[in-house]
Structure 1
Amino acid sequence: MDFTYSDEQRMLKDMVDRVVADQYDFDAREKIVNSDTGFSADLWNQFAELGLLGVPFSEAAGGFDGGGAELMVVAEGFGRGLVVEPYLSSVVLSGTFIDAIADDARKAALIEPILSGETRYALACYEAAGRYDPHWIETTAEKSGDGYTLNGAKSVVLNGDTANKLIVIARSSGDIDSADGLSAFIVDADAEGVSRRGYPTIDGHRGAEITLANVTVGSDALLGEEGKAADALQYAIDRGIVALCAEASGAMEVACDLTLQYLKDRKQFGVPIGSFQALQHRMVDMRMALEKVRSLTLWAACSLDSPEIERRQRLSAAKAMVGKAGRKVAEEAIQLFGGMGMMDESSISHYAKRIVMIDHYLGDREYHMALLRDMTLAGQDVA
């Protein structure tokens, strides 16, 4: 199988790498992270002008019609620079959800402001009691007149504190952990009854706890058919997993490069510590962990259009490997850097934190290993 990039994919990679290299050095990133919004509006607009915000969307929505490979190219480039702009939350999760659930006319109207950078969405799905289960939804949507009334709470909503609009997954019918009965609503982030408590995460990104208390929305706020949002939700989460795994791959690559350079520069007993065989072996182990993640991520990215069982198995395998191999790279990098690796002034500490935290978004290693186990016990051999 040929895994080389096409000309278009190579151009896309070069563009992402150039933007990150030119405008996202470590000092610039630190200023962005410590700003009030936690991201750069100017850089976000530049992403829009370059067409990066349209990569995962269908042509019907005005997008680039990129597949898993194109999404991987962008996310891997962002991982190399530890980009903190809300690409995952607004474009990959929220935008592709809209693309999957809305009809052509409505998706074009809703996604165009995303493509232009004007509107930023956040997907308010996960709840504290359900942990990583996207179907465990206690938030309710009850019909009220010509619209609906929403009540509930959402946890760790990525970039939920700075989004203009929220896509709220609520239960309009069905059991508390059932995929049936899930509905999706577009809610203005500043609507009456919506309260948001934003906070920084340890990897430089931002999350929010969101409470909805008797939030009233019109019937036009409903996305798709009532009670039928589960398939579109899985569609968006699948693409989110690919983006996260690819971002981890990019961050792990830089972590390996930084560690190797440190081993060459740092001297002990008058010689570079990289000349010590034991450290060379550990460096090789880091590179092997990186290649495992990269290979499984590419496998998963190329499987987004595969039958459901194959797709779910490969995505879970990739995400589980990120949790295992990613932690290996992060911990080895810190160990080999020594005390320097623990300092905020050292970029390697930020790469390590991001790599470890990626494991905890959209299901950690234990969660995805359990999914693989359950599919195997059900007689569905892992492909």
Structure 2
Amino acid sequence: MLADAARGFLDQAAPVAHLRGLRDAGQTQDRALWSEMAAMGWAGVLVPEDAGGSDMGHAAACALAGEMGRTLVTSPFLSTAVIAATALRQVSDARAAQSLARIARGEVTYALAIDEGAKFDPEATQMQARAEGNGFRLTGEKRFVVDGANADRLLVLARTDGGLTLFEIPADRDGITREAQAMIDSRDAARITLADVIATGEDVLGQVDDAMTVLAPALRAGQAALAAEMAGLAAGAFGMTVEYLKERKQFGVPIGAFQALQHRAAHLWCECEVTASAVLNAGRMLDEDPANAAMAVSLAKARATDTAQRAVQEGVQMHGGIGMTDAFDMGFYMKRARVAAEWLGDYGYHANIVAQARGF
């Protein structure tokens, strides 16, 4: 029911044409659209009820993310409602509760500043958080910060004397420079430089030198929701392709009547269904047994990455020449699939986690 309601809303308020309009206008987000989503309770899907959220769980968050993937919605849902909300839920204090309430009301957006190299690798973080008095000074650079150009607050991972520490700071604090990056999928992303940025003990989310206790559950939540988005993307591209096979004619008959194309479409449908099942399982595991959800989440992200890329490649090929043009929407699906494949760990990163979990 949640997915059906989301699909009805997004088909009207944020079809792929909406993304095209934002791109052509040089914009990466629609604040009014996010406000509508928050008003419907989507921003609070993982926020506890006593903080004003619905606390529907990760399976529900994945259902919403999947529908957003179908129409390539650009919004801070993953960064804010999923990743930041999950991180803040790991901390039991008044400040975290207030931040969660603001997320649920749609008053604040977040971005996760982790990546520093070409690949996702939190443990390799080199940004320094140098102890100074009762606080720290943060110096370094973060790349590929999704939603970073427009976010109100940042979750920044930095290296302290005894390990890694997660900081929650305003994006406009002195010493922070944000450089918006032109992503091929028209999604908001930035390169963020921190130069002697002052952070107090109150800015630490969780405990000093123990970032992963807070961050690991948030990353798994984000990876599962991103997998759901990519599964939705694959379903959207597949649906567009099937409709084209029914309409395009050669030799006086629809090309969908050709057996070779039927076989390719059937194979792609099977891949989409198996991936959807993996995504459902990841959401279930996060809700029922989060401590043991890592393999299910990585399996979902790896499969979704492969399926989304297969869907867009087949879509472009079966559309023929028009599939290569900017005037046709399939290109938007291909670009989003390529960028999403790299965010929060690529296929190789997650396939390795699955292999290790299975003893290989």
Say whether the fold is shared (TM-score over 0.5). yes
Change (3 A) 1:172 1:80: same
Change (3 A) 1:107 1:368: same
- With the length of structure 2 as denominator, give the TM-score of the two structures: 0.95
Counterpart for residue 373 of structure 1: 355
**Structure 1: segments with no counterpart, 5+ residues:** 1-9, 175-180, 379-383
Counterpart for residue 143 of structure 1: 131
Counterpart check, 1:41 vs 2:31: yes
Change (3 A) 1:250 1:230: same
Counterpart for residue 104 of structure 2: 115
Q: CA RMSD in A?
A: 1.8
Question: Equivalent residue of 2:121, what SS?
Answer: coil
Counterpart for residue 287 of structure 1: 269
Counterpart for residue 206 of structure 1: 188
Residues 195 and 210 of structure 1 are in contact (CA less than 8 Å); yes or no, is this contact kept in structure 2? Answer: yes
Counterpart for residue 78 of structure 1: 68
**C-alpha separation in 1, matches of 2:194 and 2:8:** 41
Question: Equivalent residue of 1:377, what SS?
Answer: coil
**C-alpha separation in 2, matches of 1:86 and 1:323:** 20
1:43-96 CA distances to partner (integer Å, 9 max, x unpaired)?
Answer: 111111111100022234432112221111111111111100111112212222
Q: Mapping of 1:332-351 within 5 angstroms?
A: 332-351=314-333
**C-alpha separation in 2, matches of 1:334 and 1:48:** 35
Question: Equivalent residue of 1:191, what SS?
Answer: coil
1:167 pairs with one of 155, 162, 170:
155
Counterpart check, 1:273 vs 2:261: no
Residues 135 and 230 of structure 1 are in contact (CA less than 8 Å); yes or no, is this contact kept in structure 2? Answer: no
Question: Equivalent residue of 2:155, what SS?
Answer: strand
Q: Alignment length, in residue pairs? A: 360
Counterpart for residue 84 of structure 2: 94
Counterpart for residue 199 of structure 2: 217
**C-alpha separation in 2, matches of 1:229 and 1:35:** 39
Q: Mapping of 1:61-72 within 5 angstroms?
A: 61-72=51-62
Shift of 1:186: 2.0
Residues 198 and 206 of structure 1 are in contact (CA less than 8 Å); yes or no, is this contact kept in structure 2? Answer: yes
Change (3 A) 1:107 1:62: farther
Identity %: 35
**C-alpha separation in 1, matches of 2:188 and 2:200:** 29
Question: Equivalent residue of 1:170, what SS?
Answer: strand
**C-alpha separation in 2, matches of 1:194 and 1:34:** 28
Residues 292 and 325 of structure 1 are in contact (CA less than 8 Å); yes or no, is this contact kept in structure 2? Answer: no
Shift of 1:173: 2.5
**Structure 2: segments with no counterpart, 5+ residues:** none
Shift of 1:118: 1.9
**C-alpha separation in 2, matches of 1:309 and 1:103:** 18
1:152 pairs with one of 129, 135, 140:
140
Structure 2 residue identity aligned to 1:232: V
**C-alpha separation in 1, matches of 2:18 and 2:308:** 25
Q: Mapping of 1:208-247 within 5 angstroms?
A: 208-247=190-229
Counterpart check, 1:324 vs 2:313: no
Question: Equivalent residue of 1:190, what SS?
Answer: coil
Counterpart check, 1:185 vs 2:167: yes
- With the length of structure 1 as denominator, give the TM-score of the two structures: 0.89
Structure 2 residue identity aligned to 1:273: I
1:204-227 CA distances to partner (integer Å, 9 max, x unpaired)?
Answer: 212111111111122221222211
**C-alpha separation in 2, matches of 1:105 and 1:42:** 29
Residues 289 and 325 of structure 1 are in contact (CA less than 8 Å); yes or no, is this contact kept in structure 2? Answer: yes
Change (3 A) 1:124 1:193: same
Change (3 A) 1:14 1:377: closer
Counterpart for residue 280 of structure 2: 298
Question: Equivalent residue of 1:64, what SS?
Answer: coil
Change (3 A) 1:308 1:301: closer
**C-alpha separation in 1, matches of 2:295 and 2:206:** 27
Residues 37 and 162 of structure 1 are in contact (CA less than 8 Å); yes or no, is this contact kept in structure 2? Answer: no
Shift of 1:278: 0.6
Counterpart for residue 134 of structure 1: 122
Shift of 1:238: 0.7
Question: Equivalent residue of 1:78, what SS?
Answer: helix
Shift of 1:144: 1.5
Shift of 1:15: 2.7
